[in-house]
Structure 1
Amino acid sequence: MPIATIILAAGASTRLGGQPKQLLTHNGKTLIRQIADAALSLQSGPVIAILGSNYEQIQPELADLPLQVVLNPNWPEGMASSLKFGLKALIDEPVDAFLVVLTDQPYVTTDLLQELITTQQQTGRGIVACRYGEAGHLGVPALFDIRYGSEFMQLSGDIGARKLIKQYAGDCAEIPFPLAAIDLDTWQDVEAWSKRQGAGFEDQGTQPKS
């Protein structure tokens, strides 16, 4: 069962002062490279990386990898536009399902993505999502049967996978992933994560502005 991975990495990182979070590095590897390597290690199907803001800076991080980089010129419209570009890139690909992943959840691993796939195979559900956060939200990383592709094509603005997960809760299995609640939207998030790891976080040589 070929399963694609759509990596959403088009945002402008406005809460980081416009410095691209995709290029934050830890242990010598950028976040965009880390999630790309995790997706490719699945060896389950095509990997599509959707870039937008800061394309020229980010694209070289992926240039030597066997994945497809897609530029979303409509990235300011929100997450839905990137999801649509990812699905359009899969039109000619014989896939049965697709994973949706972000770049700012640093604890996402190949094993976690494989768990989503395994859970789908075991339950037969069309959606498998991660449960996390104090409120117990269901969200990404998540897996969707390809039949949900047409539903994604109807979304707009900054609406993403969570809307469909909620809308089709009856067809959704879940796995616990508390660490998905840790994302890197602000420098405070970055600093807190860095302290948690006991190691510094950098962004390709650019220090956060005070």
Structure 2
Amino acid sequence: MEHILIKTAALPLEGIRVVLPQSNPKLKQLTLHYPCQPIENPTPHLGIGNSIALAIQTLPLSAKAALILLADQPQIHTEDLNHVLNNFQRSYEPKQTLIFQTKYKDGQMGHPTLFSRSYFQQLSELKGDVGAKNIIQRNQRYIIPCESRFESPPDIDTPDDYRRLLREGG
């Protein structure tokens, strides 16, 4: 998670939210060193959809968009974050209905993904462990792919994944 916090701290973002399991005070303590608002999730077992919904529900009415990142992808590149943000800023119009999604060199679509405000209601109602994939699938015509020069970053979900990342110098 700290890798992602370091990368977002260097960006011109406002209102960074970090959803954490309520039962993990060490992670909450870590967030105090970064410009973000920790959101304690009392039900992390309900999946990533629930976590996204919690974050979206805390956004101010003035928020124009939500950039979604996953803490289990520490190798996301700052260049890709900037690319998604710059694409959004260049095309921003109030009431736009767009999703800016990173398209990696290997053809994979993934995070970072930015949703314009028009998706906040749908995002705030997410449940389960599929995240926003269903919203993305239903709205293919509104996706702006943001080309990356990198391969898609692996998820670090297990201790073995983490050890492999360390061995590879990540």
Q: TM-score when scaled to structure 1?
A: 0.70
**Identical pairs, percent:** 22
Would you say the 8 A contact 2:104–2:151 is kept in 1? yes
Q: 1:185 to 1:162 in 2, by over 3 A?
A: same
Structure 2 vs 1, CA of residues 187 and 33 (structure 1 numbering), >3 Å: closer, same or farther?
Answer: closer
Give the match for residue 109 of structure 1: 77
Unaligned runs of 5+ in 1: 1-31, 200-210
Q: Which residue of 1 aligns with 2:153?
A: 181
| 8 Å contact kept, 2:53–2:127 | no
CA-to-aligned-CA distance 1:117-139 (integer Å, 9 cap, x gap): 112234557111123486x3422
Say whether 1:196 aligns with 2:165: no
Greater Rg by CA: 1
- C-alpha deviation, 1:93, in angstroms: 4.8
Query: Following TM superposition, by how much is the alpha carbon of 1:187 offset from its aligned partner in structure 2, in angstroms?
Result: 3.1
- The corresponding residue for 2:17 is 48
Task: Name the amino acid aligned to 1:41.
Answer: A
Give 2:127's aligned amino acid: S
Q: How does 1:8-27 map to 2 (within 5 A)?
A: none
Give the match for residue 168 of structure 1.
Answer: 139
Task: State the aligned residue count.
Answer: 165
Which among 60, 67, 70 is matched to residue 36 of structure 2?
Answer: 67
Aligned counterparts of 2:61 and 2:6: Cα–Cα separation in 1: 20
Q: Is the 8 A contact 2:19 2:39 kept in 1?
A: yes
Q: Which 5+ residue runs of structure 2 have no aligned equivalent?
A: none
Return the TM-score normalized by structure 2.
0.84
Task: Check 1:180–1:88 CA distance in 2 against 1; reply closer, same or farther (3 A cut).
Answer: same
- Alpha carbons 1:132, 1:179 under 8 Å: kept: yes
Match of 2:66 among 93, 98, 111: 98
Deviations 1:100-154 (A, max 9, x none): 00112122233321110112234557111123486x3422210110110111123
CA RMSD of aligned residues (A): 2.2
